[in-house]
Structure 1
């Protein structure tokens, strides 16, 4: 399948899924409820979105600085602005096709800093694995400290569907899956040995070696304390964005830190589920706020307000980075040696 056609299909599938979720959510609203949603969005205090956007810029900058720390064990020191621009261009492309931006930001930084892209991909994988662990930890803490509020939500929308999906799988099917995985690994290992002297084999081994070195850069960090600090600061900035956004609407002003934790934790899943989080994010935010006594219409409106603010920020910073990075790098960079 041509790469362009595959990208178009991915774009259409994820966008269609998001639109389907929006339609499925809205179809149950009465005309009066739709009118309430429009009224809530018209009367929102959007000036308070300015500090949330400033915090958003700060979180993106911290992510770039944290990612840059992973290059030090490999012997590379890219410019901070180039790293930030690459991260924002990646976010921009993620709005089009999920996860495409993760590879694209590595390509952008490799182009302007002359760092091997395989090592950049390895550091990106390591960084995202750490973010996944942080999200799992946040979800666990969120549920444990307020089981009475979000316990039913987790049971209905996460635990029960997963249990139903895996409970009925026969043991033979699991055996086939495991055997297939082992055969695939053995096939790759055989191909590497069989064609180890060819140009393609050498290139592939070098690619794998570079990716592994990038992943292992976490363990070789000299500034582990700073890496942990930036990780905690980044998630604190994410949390602050949601908490301050509560003040944009009269109905959500009284919500506290626990509600903000729930939206951050479960809303992050929505951002991953569909293209740019469209549809899924608003639906999850709506369902979470209902648990805290907020009406479904207000919850839906609030989800759209913070999603639009986050998406607008990514669009501005993403397109701005696309325009700025070639201007910052008019003089071609010399290839960096580890």
Structure 2
């Protein structure tokens, strides 16, 4: 984020945010970075198709014959998880700020869901999960909650997802492959284990040293730091609710992949479908392309081949699942942004 963008998003002394340049979803430089990332993603996909010598006619024929019932089921599982994600975020947000009127200032579930989907849209356009930063700004602009606290809640939410993702990935990998881990699957398990341990260590160290580290900071930075800490750790007392929602969310990810595979007549055990969905999410943490485009498809195809699925069917499943979990967002997101922009203009007109 450049200096001009940071200045525009910074709260003023009155607590307001300068939103005079919000006609565009993202600044021009960001679109250039998105284009570069998409070119890289296409290159990865083309290279994968070339290496596997895939019959694209067969792949497209399978996708076009996809069974509507299972395709609808995949979409229902994917978008059915979104309100649960927004609900979990609200659970974390309710303990993220010391302001006594915070619950009254938080948007309702539909408002949080709209913000969440807009952040998801930006994640599909840009690498490195920049949509998480965007939705913290949107929530600040709508509710006036401190940016530091809001960003802390996103860190807490991502940490809960990563811990669940890595734990379930290792467990489902053990169920599917047992002691017969190949070098490729072994490297994925090692990456998941390293990622999970890193997140757990960072959270543990941050919690244990939070007071000591806070006292070392300059007075001007200390308030921001404490807001961030409150956002991350303030919801510790709600861990059962957060863990329960997270478990349901990731179960729906497995259902989504299972339904997408059945849509093209590929029958997978639920444990294998969950493993594939978790691998897809794990690979989105690689900050090369938006939502891991190209990287995710390559990894999922590789896993399906290890599970005995034919090359054309593996590619068909990977593409169809990404049509549900990536490309559909690019269709759903823009109308939501237009509606949100209209609501914002109406709100500004009423305040004027």
Which of residues 89, 101, 109 in structure 2 aligns to 1:67?
89
Q: Which has the larger radius of gyration?
A: 1
Corresponding residue for residue 181 of structure 1: none
Please say if residues 48 and 248 of structure 1, whose CA atoms lie closer than 8 Å, have aligned partners that are also in contact.
yes
Q: Cα distance 1:328–1:7, how it changes in 2: closer, same or farther (>3 A)?
A: closer
**1:150 and 1:107, CA in 2 relative to 1: closer, same or farther beyond 3 A?**
farther
Contact conserved, 1:86 with 1:321, CA < 8 A, in 2? no
TM-score scaled by length of structure 1: 0.77
Is 2:280 the partner of 1:258? no
- Among candidates 312, 332, 337, match of residue 297 of structure 1: 312
Alignment-derived partner of residue 80 in structure 2? 58
SS of 2:308's partner is coil
- TM-score normalized by structure 2? 0.75
State the Cα distance separating 1:328 from its structure 2 match. Answer: 5.2
List alignment gaps of at least 5 residues for structure 1. Answer: 164-187, 197-201, 333-338
* 2:214–2:222 Cα contact (<8 Å) kept: no
2:143 aligned with 1:110: no
CA–CA distance in structure 2, aligned partners of residues 267 and 258 of structure 1: 14
Q: Which of 212, 219, 222 is matched with 2:236 structurally?
A: 219
Equivalent pair of 1:287/1:296 in contact (CA under 8 Å): no
The Cα shift of 1:15 comes to: 2.4
**Which residues of 2 match residues 81-160 of structure 1 at below 5 A?**
81-98=110-127, 99-148=129-178, 151-152=181-182, 153-155=184-186, 159=190
Question: 1:169: which partner in 2?
Answer: none
Quote how far apart the aligned CAs of 1:80 are: 1.4
Change (3 A) 1:326 1:50: same
Distance 1:149-1:241 versus aligned 2 partners, 3 A rule: farther
Counterpart pick for 1:286 among 281, 286, 301: 301
Offset, 1:109 = 1.1
Match of 2:198 in 1: none
Equivalent of 1:237, from 241, 249, 252?
252
Contact (CA 8 Å) 1:239, 1:261: kept in 2 or not?
yes
Query: Structure 1, residues 89-118: CA drift from partner, whole Å, max 9, x if none?
Result: 101111121211001001111111121111
Shift of 1:208: 1.6
Q: Tell me, in whole angstroms, the C-alpha distance in 2 between the residues paired with 1:263 and 1:61.
A: 23
Partners of 1:276 and 1:27 lie apart in 2 by 22
Corresponding residue of 1:23: 46
Offset at residue 241 of structure 1 (A): 0.8
**Separation in 1, partners of 2:124, 2:60:** 25
Q: Distance in 2 between matches of 1:95 and 1:314?
A: 7
Structure showing greater relative contact order (alpha-carbon pairs closer than 8 Å, 6 or more residues apart)? 1
The count of aligned residue pairs is 294
Q: Residue 9 of structure 2 aligns with which residue?
A: none
| Residue 69 of structure 1, CA deviation | 0.6
Within 1, Cα distance between the matches of 2:291 and 2:237? 33
Shift of 1:62: 0.4
Q: Is the 8 A contact 2:115 2:139 kept in 1?
A: yes
Shift of 1:284: 1.4
Query: Given the superposition, is the C-alpha separation of residues 116 and 146 from structure 1 closer, same or farther in structure 2, using an over 3 Å criterion?
Result: same
Counterpart in 2 of 1:205?
222
Does the aligned pair in 2 maintain the 1:93–1:100 contact within 8 Å? yes
- C-alpha separation in 1, matches of 2:80 and 2:154: 19
Structure 2: segments with no counterpart, 5+ residues: 6-26, 195-212
Q: What is the CA–CA distance in structure 1 between the aligned matches of 2:291 and 2:247, rounded to whole Å?
A: 23
